[in-house]
Amino acid sequence: MDAIIKLDHLEKTYHSAETPVRAVRAVSLEIARGDFVAIMGTSGSGKSTMMNILGCLDRPTGGTYLLDGVDVSGLSRNEFADVRNRKIGFVFQNFNLLARTSALDNVKLPMLYNHSGSKLSGKAQQDKAMKTLEMVGIGKRWDHTPSQLSGGQQQRVAIARSLINDPVLLLADEPTGNLDTRTSFDILGIFQRLNDQGITVIMVTHENDVANFAKRIIIMRDGKVRSDVQVQQRSIAEVELKKLEAEKDDDDS
Amino acid sequence: MKFRVIIFTAISALFRNKMRTLLTALGLIIGVAAVIVSVGMGNGAKAQVMAQIASMGDNVILIFAGSVNRGGMTSGAGGAGTLTADDAMALERDVPALELVSPGATGGSRVAAGNQNWSTKIYGASPEYFDIRRWTFTQGGPFTDRDVKTSAKVCVIGNTVATQLFGEPELSLGQTIRIKKVPFTVIGLLGVKGADARGQDQDDTVVMPYTSAMKRVMGTKTLSIINVSAVHGANIPVVVQQITDVLNQRHHIGGDRDADFKVLSQEEIAQMATATSKIMGLLLTIVASVSLVIGGIGIMNIMLVSVTERTREIGIRMAIGARGSDILLQFFIEAITLSCLGGLTGIAVGLGSANLVSNFAGMPVLITSGPILLAFGVSALVGVTFGFYPAIKASSLDPIEALRYE
């Protein structure tokens, strides 16, 4: 199996409290390239810590973490930043776009922090950002600032931003947490489409309905993996949207 | 990250909060403007004094009958009759570098013509005096060596005196004026010179042969001053020393006997005249520098607020791959841009105020590029110094904490 993520006895212990808190306890798992995984769990289950470690925002205190074949557990602060920049795309619950900055400039932002040698020219950056915005269906509003956009539109911009440096991994932290059902399905549809194109997606959520759109569900409790199953009856966004339309028609009649 | 993009990011961040940016930069603006105006005013005053000193003539050296201490009594410079006409002749003979020598006797008196009278300065001199001190004549001309020999009752008068006595200065030539009841014939009207370095009206004077002044007006046998000029290109300090040596010898100065004369070159006079304005200029510059530092602290304060306010933005930038150095540079450049904009505005305000001061207050202001560059350099430096700490603080934030910040 071609694993994009390989965790081996991963540990994370916080020493800030009086008694050390083991947020993640000896987790070993593999995630294959092209998979779509939902990580679930109640608050305190360790899923946020797990997300931070997978996203190279936080360092494990034990075990190893291979991302795309590279051991990232011992990287420096700058190397961490570069890994985040080139290999990982982040999508957050509250979108986290720069305020008073146009959608296009928000999408271009990760390219500005690309410290690798291969840099695109200003024009090429512009074109690529524009194309990515079009791909998530928001090309027409490229000059709008976040305050001029709805939640769903902001999340589309955030997805475009996460894709701009061609990451190998998309990390979504409660991406539909602030959205209504219909918009949630739209966004999940985008994730499914991207996943079909070969991008690995990891999504943290606490809603079963949302997790059902993934291919595999990992449930965490007390810092350990409690269950790890393939989704049997997977929700497909287009189908769910059609159902929603039908329900709406029923309500109206 | 491209430099152009960083600058652009900094400027747009500053323009997002125009009022705050302006208030923050105000300290620097005032500081820079104050430096430019104060240094400009100091230089202007100095240039004016130097021009007045230059109007004295070329290579002029003044020898005053000096402060002499005899039996515990001290009299001021020029007050003691320690110089004689023989001293003047000895100088002419023994100091080859001297071009012109004019013995002088000064005093004040009331002068009268018709029913008008005026209190003025009486200056006794030899004809060389007019060359040494670069006096020109509007009408008539100087008295002669023969007038000196005969203590002739002739004089030339300055424009102010002529105006006071005759209304129209041009009417004075050939008239008789009475000084201490002695009638003198006006044979020349001096050209206008204006105020000297000490602000005294140089045109308020009557010049006559020093023999006439000593004998007929002041009733003294000694000189109070000797005006000399050195030849062009002479080494003035050396000439001053030679004059001092000749007079020391003639007056038997040495050992415990203090000199009873004082030799002052033009340069020394200039230094004395500019000493006050130098101190004033220094004080103003210190005040201006303090306001520059306070401006810098204002910048640091606002940058720290800005870092806290934009913690979330920093978190977002870090999450998508900004290195610590990227964040550092962003805030650092922002502080420097702020201080440079403040500096440039300060220069504009300073030049404008300098213009106002010279046009409306009538004070001389001399603007040179030196203080402008200095003030701008200091304001940029202030940005570097006081922008560094907030930038470091921003760059060392933890991305997870920063993203969680509300």
* Predicted-complex ipTM score: 0.93
Helix pair B324-360, B369-395: axis angle to 10 deg? 150
| pLDDT attached to residue B72 | 46
For residue A85, which residues of chain B lie inside 8 Å, CB to CB?
A: 320-322
Instruction: Select from A84, A99, A165 the Cβ nearest to the Cβ of B319.
Output: A84
Mark whether B281 and B227 lie in a shared domain. Answer: no
Instruction: Select from B315, B318, B320 the Cβ nearest to the Cβ of A161.
Output: B320
* Runs of H (alpha helix) within B55-156: 85-94, 128-132, 145-149
Residue-wise pLDDT for B193-208, tens only, equals 887 766 788 899 999 9
How close B318 comes to chain A (CA, Å)? 7
* Runs of H (alpha helix) within B197-265: 210-212, 236-251
Q: B28-52 as b/e, with b when 16 or more CB fall inside 10 Å?
A: bbbbbbbbbbbbbbbbbbbebbeeb
| pLDDT attached to residue B57 | 74
Whether residue B50 is predicted with pLDDT greater than 90 in this model: the reply is: no
Mark whether B283 and B212 lie in a shared domain. Answer: no
Burial (0-12, 13-18, 19+ Cβ within 10 Å), A201:
buried
Q: In what order do the strands lie in the sheet with A3-14?
A: A21-32, A3-14, A62-67, A70-71
Predicted confidence band at B52 (pLDDT cuts at 50, 70, 90)? confident
Predicted confidence band at B287 (pLDDT cuts at 50, 70, 90)? confident
DSSP, collapsed to helix, strand or coil, labels residue B233 as coil
Whether residue B318 is predicted with pLDDT greater than 60 in this model: the reply is: yes
Is B2 part of the contact surface with chain A (CB cutoff 8 Å)?
Answer: yes
Phi and psi dihedrals of A160, rounded to 5?
Answer: -60, -40
B233, B263, B298: which is the final residue of a domain?
Answer: B233
Is B4 part of the contact surface with chain A (CB cutoff 8 Å)?
Answer: no
Phi and psi dihedrals of B56, rounded to 5?
Answer: -65, -35
For residue B323, which residues of chain A lie inside 8 Å, CB to CB?
A: 77-78, 81-82, 113, 115
How close A253 comes to chain B (CA, Å)? 44
Contact, A10 vs A64, CB < 8 A? yes
Is B283 part of the contact surface with chain A (CB cutoff 8 Å)?
Answer: no
Predicted confidence band at B71 (pLDDT cuts at 50, 70, 90)? very low
One-letter amino acid at A164 equals I
The answer to whether A110 contacts B399, with C-beta atoms less than 8 Å apart, is: no
Question: Which of A232-246, B115-129, B235-249, B362-376 has the least mean pLDDT?
Answer: B362-376
B214, B233, B252: which is the final residue of a domain?
Answer: B233
Mark whether B279 and B204 lie in a shared domain. Answer: no
| pLDDT attached to residue B70 | 47
Is A15 part of the contact surface with chain B (CB cutoff 8 Å)?
Answer: no
Among the four given CATH numbers 3.40.50.1970, 3.40.50.300, 3.40.50.170, 2.60.40.3140, the one describing domain A1-51+63-68+168-253: 3.40.50.300
Among chain B residues, CA nearest to A112: B1
Contact, A221 vs A41, CB < 8 A? yes
Fold identical between A1-51+63-68+168-253 and A76-87+96-167?
Answer: yes
How close A72 comes to chain B (CA, Å)? 15
Q: Which of A138, A253, A248 is nearest to A186 (CA)?
A: A138
Q: Which of B224, B262, B266 is nearest to B243 (CA)?
A: B262
The answer to whether B324 contacts A81, with C-beta atoms less than 8 Å apart, is: yes
| pLDDT attached to residue B269 | 79
| Cα–Cα distance for residue pair A160/A95, rounded to 1 Å | 11
Neighbours of A197 (CB within 10 A): 9
Q: Which of residues 95-124 of A touch B (CB under 8 A)?
A: 96-100, 109-110, 112-115
Mark whether B282 and B344 lie in a shared domain. Answer: yes
Q: Bridge partners of A13? A: A22
For residues B261-276, average pLDDT:
82
| Cα–Cα distance for residue pair A101/A144, rounded to 1 Å | 8
Mean pLDDT rounded to a whole number for chain B: 87
Mark whether B279 and B400 lie in a shared domain. Answer: yes
Is B112 part of the contact surface with chain A (CB cutoff 8 Å)?
Answer: no
Instruction: Select from B321, B326, B403 the Cβ nearest to the Cβ of A96.
Output: B403
| Cα–Cα distance for residue pair B120/B109, rounded to 1 Å | 6
B11 or B154: whose pLDDT is higher? B154
| Cα–Cα distance for residue pair A181/A185, rounded to 1 Å | 6
Residue located via tokens 């690995």: A200
Domain A76-87+96-167 top-level CATH class: alpha beta
Interface test with B, best of A107, A113, A161 (most B CBs within 10 A): A113
What's the total number of domains in chain B? 2
| pLDDT attached to residue B69 | 47
Q: How far is CA A162 from the centre of its chain?
A: 8
Mark whether B288 and B387 lie in a shared domain. Answer: yes
For residue A161, which residues of chain B lie inside 8 Å, CB to CB?
A: 320
* Runs of H (alpha helix) within chain A: 47-54, 77-87, 103-112, 122-135, 151-163, 181-196, 208-211, 237-252
For residues B154-167, average pLDDT:
93
Question: Which of B154-163, B273-282, B342-351, B397-406 has the least mean pLDDT?
Answer: B273-282
For residues B304-328, average pLDDT:
92
Print pLDDT tens along chain A (253 aa).
589 999 999 999 998 878 888 999 999 999 999 999 999 998 889 998 999 999 999 999 999 999 999 999 889 999 999 999 999 999 999 999 998 899 999 999 999 888 876 678 888 999 999 999 999 999 999 999 999 999 999 999 999 999 999 999 999 999 999 999 999 999 999 999 999 999 999 999 989 999 999 999 999 999 999 999 999 999 999 999 999 888 888 777 6
For residue A57, which residues of chain B lie inside 8 Å, CB to CB?
A: 319, 399-400, 403
Burial (0-12, 13-18, 19+ Cβ within 10 Å), B247:
buried
Whether residue B13 is predicted with pLDDT greater than 90 in this model: the reply is: no
DSSP, collapsed to helix, strand or coil, labels residue B37 as helix
Within 13 Å and on the Cβ side, how many CA atoms surround B388? 5
Mark whether B111 and B219 lie in a shared domain. Answer: yes
Whether residue B307 is predicted with pLDDT greater than 50 in this model: the reply is: yes
| pLDDT attached to residue A88 | 95
Using CA atoms, how far residue B217 sits from A188, B153, B211, B284, in Å, is: 114, 10, 10, 47
For residues B318-332, average pLDDT:
92
Mark whether B202 and B294 lie in a shared domain. Answer: no
| Cα–Cα distance for residue pair B278/B267, rounded to 1 Å | 15
Predicted confidence band at B137 (pLDDT cuts at 50, 70, 90)? very high
Residues 6+ apart with CB under 8 A from B25: B295, B299, B338, B339, B341, B342, B345
| pLDDT attached to residue A85 | 94
Neighbours of B2 (CB within 10 A): 10
Q: What is the percent of chain B with per-residue pLDDT over 70, rounded to a whole number?
A: 95
| Cα–Cα distance for residue pair B335/B341, rounded to 1 Å | 10
Burial (0-12, 13-18, 19+ Cβ within 10 Å), B114:
exposed
Is A22 part of the contact surface with chain B (CB cutoff 8 Å)?
Answer: no
Mark whether B140 and B34 lie in a shared domain. Answer: no
Q: Bridge partners of B69? A: B74
- The domain locations on chain A are 1-51+63-68+168-253, 76-87+96-167
Q: Which of residues 297-326 of B touch A (CB under 8 A)?
A: 312-313, 315-326
The answer to whether A92 contacts B403, with C-beta atoms less than 8 Å apart, is: yes
Q: Is residue B311 part of a domain?
A: yes
Is A85 part of the contact surface with chain B (CB cutoff 8 Å)?
Answer: yes
One-letter amino acid at B1 equals M
Structural domain of B199: 105-233
Residue located via tokens 């602290």: B297
For residue A81, which residues of chain B lie inside 8 Å, CB to CB?
A: 318, 321-324
Predicted confidence band at B5 (pLDDT cuts at 50, 70, 90)? confident
Question: Which of A206-220, B44-58, B115-129, B166-180 has the least mean pLDDT?
Answer: B44-58
